[in-house]
Amino acid sequence: MDYRLNVTYITFGGYVEVHKYRYLYFVVMFTVYILIIGSNVTIVCIIMIHKNLHEPMYIFIAALLINSVLFSTAIYPKLLIDFLSEKQIISYPACLLQWFSSHWLAVSDFFLLSFMAYDRYVSICNPLQYTTIMQRTTVYIFLCSAWILPACLVSVLILLNAKRKICTFHLKGILCNSSVQTLQCARSLIVNIYGLILVTFLLLPVVFIFFTYSKILVVSYRCRGVRRRAAQTCLPHLLVLINFTCLISYSLILDQLELDSPKTVRFIMTIQAVIYQPLFNPLIYGLKMRRIYDHLKKLFCRMVLCLHTDKSQCFVS
């Protein structure tokens, strides 16, 4: 703690050989960060520009990719700074902010995935009512609730923990998440109860997602004509859901096993957790969603044409 500035600093103790491999860590993670920003922003821009992608399904995909950009921006800059710093520290308010950002966006992703599942359910199981149900106003309400409601829920959790006194200033990880509670002098019963309620509440979107996809599978099995359509549009969402659920489950388990997990294993798995999901989403939607893939292919061909021809002719074509 810095008493002169009256600011509490937390030390990250989860880095492995950072003084030896600092430049390697920095180059690798900086490259990954650029790839994450570039891939996600590219697909979001494609969805915004092309009118044939202005449909609820693609709007939800764009929102999910925006979350990936925000999540990476909340994590990567601090990681890059720590790799080049002599001491890996963070102020306690900044640590709480990082905790809030990561959990807010994670909860938001669950809501967005549930809305995407509902959109596919209506489209496949009630196609005649799709335009009536999934109106623009409905989509906007879904988007606002996917961002505002999780922000409110996580804010309460962060505020409850911010009031708690901390007695230790050393985190065994490299990020600020729910493991910050291990710094507190004593666990709060109210915080534990609210955390349990929050986790239980998050199970509702998961149950809803599996329910809607089970209904879609039943309809697809009965009607051969919708099987291909269901596979093309639902498979990417299912892959993203499975990947995201596994990462969240692993993160929760890792926090609980913080005292027992080897430092190297924890460091490697944490790095993988912050890499996979932001890179996995644009890769899946870019390759598996036919319309997005077609626009990406045209964009790539246009870029290749620009490299081999005069720029004026490129823009004319």
Residue 49 lies in a domain: yes
Q: Residue 65: give the domain boundaries.
A: 9-292
CA proximity to 100, closest of 155, 149, 146: 155
pLDDT for the residue 316: 47
Token pair belonging to 118? 């509902």
Does 59 fall in a domain?
Answer: yes
Structure token digits, residue 49: 């520009």
Give the Cα separation of 140 and 54 in Å (integer): 13
Q: How far is CA 200 from the centre of its chain?
A: 20
**What pLDDT, in 10s, does the model give residues 117-145?**
899 888 888 888 888 889 999 999 999 99
- 3 falls within a domain: no
Say what the pLDDT of residue 317 is: 44
Q: In this predicted model, what pLDDT tens digit does every residue of 189-222 receive, in sequence order?
A: 888 888 888 878 878 888 888 888 888 877 777 7
Instruction: Name the pTM for this structure.
Output: 0.87
Please tell me the total count of domains within the chain.
Answer: 1
pLDDT of residue 228: 65
Check residue 289 and report its DSSP letter. S
The two tokens of residue 115 are 């809305």
What pLDDT score was predicted for residue 245?
75
Name the band, by pLDDT with cuts 50, 70 and 90, for residue 6: low
Report the percent of the chain where pLDDT is more than 70.
Answer: 86
Mark 290-304 as b/e (b = at least 16 C-beta within 10 Å): ebbeebbeeeeeeee
- Per the domain annotation, does 67 fall within a domain? yes
From the CA atom positions of the chain, what is the Rg in Å? 22
Which SS3 state, helix, strand or coil, does residue 13 take? coil
Domain membership of residue 225 (yes or no) is yes
- Identify the pLDDT of residue 2: 45
Kindly report the CATH number assigned to the domain that includes residue 47: 1.20.1070.10
**What is the helix (H) or strand (E) element at residue 10, kind and residue range?**
strand 9-12
Domain assignment present for 2: no
The Cα 133–Cα 262 span in angstroms is 51
- What would the two tokens of residue 25 be? 């860590």
At 167, which helix (H) or strand (E)?
none
Angle subtended by helix axes 56-84 and 92-125, to nearest 10: 160
pLDDT for the residue 231:
62
Instruction: Kindly report which listed range (162-176, 235-249, 280-294) carries the lowest average pLDDT score.
Output: 235-249
139 within domain boundaries: yes
